[in-house]
Structure 1
Amino acid sequence: MARNDHFSAFAATYASYRPTYPAALFAWLADQAPATYGAWDCATGTGQAALSLAEHFAHVFASDVGIGMIEHAVPHPRISYHLAPAEEPPPSITDLDLITVAQALHWFDRDTFFAACEQRLRPGGILAYWGYLLPSITPAVDAVVRHYHDIAVGPHWPPDRGPLLDGYAQIAPPNMERLTAPPFAMTATWTLDQLIGQLDSWSATHRARQATGNDPLAPIVPELRAAWAEAPQRPITWPLPFHAFRKPR
Structure 2
Amino acid sequence: MNHNGWAFDDDAPMTARLTTAFAFTAAAGLSILFTIVWLLSDGLSADISLGGLIAPLMLGVFIAVARAVYDVTLRRLPFAWMCVVVAVSILALALVGAEIFELTTDQRYSLSSFVFLIGVPVYGALAWATLAIWPAPKKQEPRLFGPGEDRGDWRDEFIRAARVRGDLTDKRIEALADDAYARAEAAHRSVGEECGDPVRYARSLPKDRATAAKRKLYFQLALVVLAGIVLTLNLGGEAKSAFGMGALILWLAIFAVGALSSFFLWRKAKREREGEAERPVD
Give the TM-score, by structure 1 length: 0.26
Q: Which has the higher strand share?
A: 1
Q: Which has the larger radius of gyration?
A: 2
Give the TM-score, by structure 2 length: 0.23
Structure with greater contact order relative to length (CA < 8 Å, sep ≥ 6): 1
